[in-house]
Amino acid sequence: MRLLIVEDEKRLATALAAGLTAEGFAVDVVHDGLEGLHRAAEGAYDLVVLDIMLPGMNGYRVCAALRAAGHETPILMLTAKDGEYDEAEGLDTGADDYLTKPFSYVVLVARIRALLRRRGGGSGSPVVTVGALRMDTAARRVHLGEAEITLTAKEFAVLEQLALRPGQVVSKADILEHVWDFAYDGDPNIVEVYVSTLRRKLGAGAISTVRGAGYRLEAL
């Protein structure tokens, strides 16, 4: 899952990005509203964390512009405690949720996960099941039958991309885009490294390689 943080308080933005990266998200940060709008409009994000008071263009206007252009990416707005934020106005412009600063990091992560689940549609259940594989995306736990499989944050994120589209081919570029951040300019074959580790942990038949197209998670 790939997130965009639009926040001009650089220390806060950096701390959020570090924390969310450790949770397994791919995170990009911009410090200006106009740049945030351009980035978000490129459409590759699963969620945008948007401050309101920003240089360039304020968060309300960024949000309204994205919605007017037909972008449905979930938006979580951040605001200062002094009452600058008008909830009605924020929700009017199309924000999905908001948090007042100073906020608890744990609450922020919970809200982000809730919005991502809601966007996933269906029952809103955080549990994804493919055959005997069960991924609880809220608790970040994976079971294969009765056995719990221990995965790192990145391994979990790669598997999640495949599990959300079981039986379908997911391209390497698609996985890279949602699991690694914009600044990643290393070898795209990094995806292969993670897929091999997942095969070792889940069984060689768990993930098929579709030559020239990508990977497919098989029902185990």
**Residue closer to Ca ion, measured from CB, 53 or 108:** 53
Q: How far is the CB of 29 from Ca ion (least distance, A)?
A: 13
**Residue closer to Ca ion, measured from CB, 100 or 129:** 100
Residue whose Cβ sits closest to Ca ion: 53
Q: How far is the CB of 51 from Ca ion (least distance, A)?
A: 4
The Cα–Cα gap between 35 and 22 comes to 25
DSSP for 173-210 reads HHHHHHHS-TT--S-TTHHHHHHHHHHHHH-TTSEEEE
Cβ-Cβ contacts under 8 Å for 154 (sequence gap 6 or more): 24, 179, 194
**Residue closer to Ca ion, measured from CB, 8 or 23:** 8
**According to CB under 5 A, which residues from 51 to 110 bind Ca ion?**
51, 53
**Residue closer to Ca ion, measured from CB, 8 or 218:** 8
**Residue closer to Ca ion, measured from CB, 56 or 120:** 56
Q: Where does this chain touch Ca ion (CB under 5 A) — which range of 7-15, 108-116, 119-127, 189-197? A: 7-15
Helix (H) or strand (E) holding 4: strand 2-6
The Cα–Cα gap between 163 and 71 comes to 24
**Residue closer to Ca ion, measured from CB, 26 or 54:** 54
Q: How far is the CB of 5 from Ca ion (least distance, A)?
A: 12
The Cα–Cα gap between 137 and 107 comes to 16
**Residue closer to Ca ion, measured from CB, 10 or 118:** 10
Q: How far is the CB of 27 from Ca ion (least distance, A)?
A: 18
The interface mask with Ca ion, positions 19-58, x = CB under 5 A, is --------------------------------x-x-----
In 93-133, alpha helices (H): 105-119
Q: How far is the CB of 52 from Ca ion (least distance, A)?
A: 7
Q: Which of 31, 27, 30, 9 is nearest to 17 (CA)?
A: 27
Contact 163, 217 (CB under 8 A): yes
CB atoms within 10 A of CB 171: 14
Q: How many residues bind Ca ion (CB under 5 A)?
A: 3
Cβ-Cβ contacts under 8 Å for 36 (sequence gap 6 or more): 4, 6, 30, 48, 50, 54, 56, 57, 62
Q: How far is the CB of 10 from Ca ion (least distance, A)?
A: 10
Q: How far is the CB of 195 from Ca ion (least distance, A)?
A: 40
Question: Residue numbers of the site for Ca ion (CB under 5 A)?
Answer: 8, 51, 53
